[in-house]
Each structure stands twice: as structure tokens, then as C-alpha cells.
Amino acid sequence: MVTTMTPEFQLTLHANHCRITFPAMASLCEVLLDTTDTQLALTLGELARDEAQRIEQKFSRYRDDNAVWAINHSHGKPVTVDEETAAMMGFAETLWHLSEGRFDVTSGVLRRAWRFDGSDNVPDERDIRALLPLIGWQQVIWQSPQVTLPEGMEIDFGGIGKEYAVDKVFEQLRQRWNGALLVNFGGDLRAHGPRGDGQPWQVGVEQVIADQPTKVISLTEGGLATSGDARRFLLKDGVRYSHILDPRSGWPVADAPRSVTTIAPTCLQAGMLSSLAMLMGSDAEAYLDHQKVRYWSLR
């Protein structure tokens, strides 16, 4: 039974839980609450929506009124950022070091050449080569809370923003309610349980190979994230080009899995692990084995 519905917010009462959905970050965002108290669910759902929208507005590269815009249009001059943005910058730097340059928040400029729309429009090598001088965290001067970005370069938090939002929403809800819940933003999620009947949450992971059934994972506590090329790719002359790009070359990572799903204590950690594994290409599984985390890899 739907109790609240608008184009931007929906609350549905099920037999033993409430489901709230709203759009944000180019995804369908979902919050499941192990309660049939619709007033409680409405309050928590609105809190979740507001926090997701706040983070999207703050870190989206599509807006012209936030810190990301200020940094990207600083023309090589220093910009002082707030504490939350500084934390994101610091995490981005950590990922760059951990990945030996494979994960780089300055690589978003490659979207000027690549359009992963399922077509066969593979860009010309010259166009990619022309963008490479604009990529490389090592060119950024980062001395928290001040960042200096060279002229023409950009930062893009798209690779970590959604997972960060999941954790922030989850933390806010847990501060206000101690029941079982699940926050799911487009397949990146975090759960707390068990549910009132003692059961874990059942999470479906979309498969990237046609006719393969959805994998169902039982999750009581922690974060889950999936990286893959199910929706964003190019296909030319029988060669599939994944949207997982190596910023050092500007080209898709060679021999990467089709999909990697990981479980970690937080969604941000799970997303970091799945993304880094994809960027490792043929060494993805060996990397995850070394990290000693639960994962599912599909090639």
C-alpha cells in the first residue's frame, strides 16, 4: 500500500517494513526500514532524502554554486575548502596513492573523449592523448584545507560520492533510530540488522551477463558495492570497451572483470575495494584475496 506519493518521494507500506524511494545522484535511492510505523518512516525518509540532496548539491560537478565548481574554475589560484570537502580531498589522495595512480579524481576530463552509450564510437587516440596533460593528482597542490589546481584541470568526486552519501544517510538514520534498516543508492548500500524476525536483509546483485539470474546475498551488517560495465560500455568490431578507465593511459583497463561486488564495514570502503579491484585488471581477484574481504567477481 502506497501511503505517500509525489514525483520526488514515495513511501510504501509492506507487510513487515516500509520502503522509501526518491531520485538523487542519477540513481533511484531506496531506504528500507524494519517497521510498519508510517509516521516514523516518513520522518526518517525525509531526513534521508534531504541529506542525499545536500551531498549531491555540495559535490556535484554539474552545479555552479559549490566547492567543486570553485576549485575547477580557480584558474590555478589556491582555494580554501570546508572541513567536509577537505575530508573528501584527503580520501581521494589516499586512493591515488593506494592505487599507484589508477584511481584519480582529476581523470573526469576523459568524458570529453569517451561516451559510454553502448555504441561503437571509440574515440581517436589523438583526442585521448590531448587530455592526458590535464590528468594527474601529482600536479595538484593539496595542503589541507587549501588546494591549488593547475589551469584547465578538474576534480570529480563521482567515483566516491554516492558511497559517501550512503554512509552519511545511514549514520544519520542510526542516530535517530536503532531498528534494522538498509540504505541503497543505485546498488551501493549499507545495512543494519538483523530484522525483527531475526533474518538478514536479502540483497539482489544485478548480473552483467544476459539470462544469468540475479545473485541474492544475505546481509546483516555492513556495506556492499558493485563496480562493472553492465550499463556503460562501447562495442566495436567484437571488442567491448568498459567505462573503467586507467587515467594513466586514458584507455579502458585491460582484462578487468565484467563485475566485482565487495562487502566491507562501510559502503565507502566497499566501493573503494570494488573500484580498485576493477582498476587492477587481470590482478583484480588477487588484489581482493590479499585484502581478505568477501567478494564476487564475474568475468
100-130 pLDDT, tens digit per residue, is 999 999 999 999 999 999 999 999 999 999 9
**Cα–Cα distance measured from residue 12 to residue 167, given in angstroms and rounded to the nearest whole number:** 23
Q: How far is CA 132 from CA 89, 128, 137, in A?
A: 21, 7, 12
Q: What is the pLDDT of residue 208?
A: 66
Task: Count the Cβ atoms, other than its own, within 10 Å of residue 236.
Answer: 11
11-29 pLDDT, tens digit per residue, is 999 999 999 999 999 899 9
Q: What is the pLDDT of residue 249?
A: 97
178-194 pLDDT, tens digit per residue, is 999 999 999 999 999 99
The pLDDT mean for the chain works out to 94
**Cα–Cα distance measured from residue 52 to residue 165, given in angstroms and rounded to the nearest whole number:** 6
| pTM for this entry | 0.95
237-254 pLDDT, tens digit per residue, is 988 899 999 999 999 999
Q: What is the DSSP letter of 212?
A: P
Q: What is the pLDDT of residue 210?
A: 65
Domains of the chain, each with CATH number or no CATH: 67-159 (1.10.3980.10)
55-82 pLDDT, tens digit per residue, is 999 999 999 999 999 999 999 999 999 9
pLDDT tier for residue 209 given thresholds of 50, 70 and 90: low
Q: What is the pLDDT of residue 206?
A: 73
